[in-house]
Structure 1
Amino acid sequence: MKKLIYLDNAATTKTAPEVMEAMIPYFTEYYGNPSSVYDFAGISKKALDESRETIANALHAKENEIYFTAGGSEADNWALKATAEAYAAKGKHIITTKIEHHAILHTGEYLEKLGYEVTYLDVDEFGVVKLDQLKKAIRPDTILISVMFANNEIGTIQPIKEIGEIAHEQGILFHTDAVQAFGQVPIDVDEYHIDMLSASGHKLNGPKGIGFLYIRKGVKIRSFVHGGAQERKRRAGTENVPGIVGLGKAVELAVNTMEERTAKEKELRDYLIDRVLKEVPYTRLNGHRTNRLPNNANFSFQFVEGESLLIMLDMDGICGSSGSACTSGSLDPSHVLLAIGLPHEIAHGSLRLTLSAETTKEDIDFVVESIKKIVTKLRSMSPLYEDFIKQN
């Protein structure tokens, strides 16, 4: 079997061995329902509390501000829908951006059908929110600002602290989708004036099907799932104890290795970007050159169709993406790339590569050579490229 070079860690990550080891006893040995009263169930309850404490410490939050969910999409839905319901008497206006994950965008569309107004902010060519436009968009009836911490496709990190300050000064709740950022960059919810934050386990070497929503104490948010008293009566249903234990362990590992791990990822990311931009003509980097996630590189190759590029990379044992895994079945170009001003034909030729701690320089060298070979081949079959070369 040929070597697998996995560079789609923004879609999902490999569950760390330490995480698996921590989870297994809660499938086989300590399987009690944490809501039960006997001592055996108390073992599960203690494990939940310890994971909650680990996550809270990573955000400089309080333990009772962490609510477990089935993942980032649920946490995003909860933040928007429950806030809209709870604060409807104050107003029905929400502000977000055009480059959010579809868990936010589709929830915004759903709320619009219920009579809420949603303003979708433009971003600049690097995918950064324009703070002056944010300020102008605020109205007396604005109840929530939701801006992702870092973009899942192009990796750009937003000025979250400044956005949080604007929201705080205006008395508006601030939510951030930190699914890509949590575990990759330090986050302090107090310093950034964050009222709600979404995260997901499988983006940081934890298990799938588990995430959390941070809700600042005092935020009047309603229950999202009804039917029980779990999660302090805000999210009913028997807790996913093994998943929560795995999430806690993954967060612990991510925090403890963050500085060294992300420094290595940045070095390899920049090496990858420099080589591709230098050695593959008619290529552009999408997103901010430096103010981006440590492991993210997103390129657009003119005169190349992204799906063909991905298929041929797969034949070389390389896993990449053209954008969000949640829209991989779509034939439409990325809404993120269109929002930063790319024309359809260039947006269609995009490639997202996201590294991990296991990625090596040898991997990057192999990938770059593969990209050069494939792009050359695809362009040789493109009438548009042939015409372009003749004209230039």
Structure 2
Amino acid sequence: MIYLDYAATTPMCKEAVAAYAEAATVYFGNESSLHDVGTTARKLLTLCRRELALMINGEAEGVYFTSGGTEANVLAVRSLIAAHRRKGTHLITTEIEHASLHHLFKQLEAEGYKVTYLPVDRYGRIRLTDLERAVTPETILASIQHANSEIGTIQPLADIGRLLRARGVLFHSDCVQTFAKIQLDVKAMAIDSLSISAHKVYGPKGVGAVYIDPRRHWKPVFPGATHESGFRPGTVNVPGIAAFLTAAKRLYERMESEQLRFEQLRSRLLDAIAAKRLPVAVEGHRDARLAHIVGLSVNGLEGQFVMLECNRAGIAISTGSACQVGLQAPSRTMIAVGKTPEEARQFIRVSFGTATTEADIDRFVSVLERLVSAGKGANQG
């Protein structure tokens, strides 16, 4: 099977598997225990916290490990707004956030918060003027993703961060798709809080992290919790965290070379589509986007059909975010960028990873060409 769905999840790298096995065997203690076995586990956890902070130019005391990106998003937003509720009840987000945040903000509306959902342009970018107009004296926090998981469009976090900080609004960003792919700098970007996930960077599933600027006050979502400085309950997954940081460091150290390789693969894919004159449009921003995520609209064919036919041909792609699979409604991102529901259902996503080759790209284009030709024949018949 040719795997072209790395934006959904990645396989654990062998180094992460080895790190997990060693940590589970040697550092198996509960890091909260006061005996030597617990102390050993705590020292490893402290090292992991420092390593993660270095990768985002943050402080180790601001790192809190979680069970994944979804929990990271929910706990970060809830813990920050709970601590600043006295300021007001207004929140800001975008129309194209990950499902975990979209559903959270809908829930917060039901709880009495007022939420502004910023629109995006046809390329999936917010307008800074819209953000500026949305801020009110009662605005507590804005949550704006770093990059969209379906079309790869990158938001201008530094500009957003400066705008929000100047107005005293907390800034959270879902950085699950960008961590260890492009450089993150919480200080330069004026980010107060961000979320990341291990399984997007060749680490284990069920592990993630939140970074909260130590200067920002937060209130525990679970009162009485003792783990992770009270940020969340439950015994800390030290082996999973060790595997997470092992994988993340490995990817981080190869970040520039991998991004260059992804740009080459992307060019090969788009050049082949153009050369064969396939009725396929590239979605997302031309320049401000992740190299390894390619959103495509196949005119005349439903994305679900293309995905299933690719699967039959031994190629794994997707029709968007894995967290939205099975829903009847078309992609929120596609609707937000101006597509009709019918057009939105023609969307597919191809995403590259460390094992992706030029031959994989050529095989995918060949299958896509066959499907398009078959679709033309059926329409003419």
Q: TM-score range by the shorter chain?
A: over 0.9
Counterparts of 1:15-26 in structure 2, within 5 Å, are 15-26=12-23
Identity %: 37
Q: 2:69 maps to what in 1?
A: 72
Contact 2:27–2:238 under 8 Å retained in 1: no
Comparing 369-378 and 13-22, the one that deviates more? 369-378
Q: 2:39 maps to what in 1?
A: 42
Per-residue deviation, 1:123: 0.5
Per-residue deviation, 1:250: 1.5
Determine if the alignment matches structure 1 residue 84 to structure 2 residue 81. yes
Q: 1:238 maps to what in 2?
A: 235
Contact 1:155–1:292 under 8 Å retained in 2: yes
Residue of structure 1 aligned with 2:291, choices 271, 289, 294: 294
Residue of structure 1 aligned with 2:212, choices 195, 204, 215: 215
Determine if the alignment matches structure 1 residue 353 to structure 2 residue 350. yes
Comparing 226-235 and 33-42, the one that deviates more? 226-235
- Which residue identity does 2:210 align to in structure 1? L
Residue of structure 2 aligned with 1:307, choices 286, 304, 307: 304
**Partners of 2:334 and 2:66 in 1: CA distance:** 30
Residue of structure 2 aligned with 1:329, choices 316, 319, 326: 326
Contact 2:91–2:141 under 8 Å retained in 1: yes
**Partners of 1:337 and 1:276 in 2: CA distance:** 21
2:218 aligns to what SS in structure 1? coil
Q: How many residues align?
A: 381
Per-residue deviation, 1:226: 4.3
The TM-score, its normalising length taken from structure 2, stands at 0.97
Determine if the alignment matches structure 1 residue 187 to structure 2 residue 184. yes
**Partners of 2:76 and 2:236 in 1: CA distance:** 19
Per-residue deviation, 1:227: 4.6
Per-residue deviation, 1:219: 1.3
Show CA shifts across 1:159-212 (max 9, x none). Answer: 111000000110110000000011110011000000000000000101100000
Residue of structure 2 aligned with 1:94, choices 88, 91, 95: 91
Q: 2:246 maps to what in 1?
A: 249
Q: 2:26 maps to what in 1?
A: 29
**Partners of 2:279 and 2:241 in 1: CA distance:** 46
Residue of structure 2 aligned with 1:368, choices 365, 369, 372: 365
- Which residue identity does 1:243 align to in structure 2? G
Show CA shifts across 1:123-155 (max 9, x none). Answer: 011001111111011111011011000000000
Determine if the alignment matches structure 1 residue 265 to structure 2 residue 262. yes
Show CA shifts across 1:69-115 (max 9, x none). Answer: 11111111112222222211101001110011111111000000111
- Which residue identity does 2:357 align to in structure 1? T
Per-residue deviation, 1:330: 1.1
Contact 1:164–1:174 under 8 Å retained in 2: yes
**Partners of 1:61 and 1:220 in 2: CA distance:** 16
- Which residue identity does 1:328 align to in structure 2? V
Determine if the alignment matches structure 1 residue 279 to structure 2 residue 276. yes
**Partners of 2:230 and 2:44 in 1: CA distance:** 19
Counterparts of 1:75-224 in structure 2, within 5 Å, are 75-224=72-221
Which sections of structure 2, spanning at least 5 residues, go unmatched? none
**Partners of 1:27 and 1:12 in 2: CA distance:** 23
- Which residue identity does 2:272 align to in structure 1? R
Contact 1:227–1:237 under 8 Å retained in 2: no
Comparing 261-270 and 202-211, the one that deviates more? 261-270
**Partners of 1:72 and 1:278 in 2: CA distance:** 39
- Which residue identity does 2:302 align to in structure 1? E
Contact 2:12–2:204 under 8 Å retained in 1: yes
Pick closer, same or farther for the CA change 1:380–1:345 going to 2, 3 Å: farther
1:89 aligns to what SS in structure 2? helix
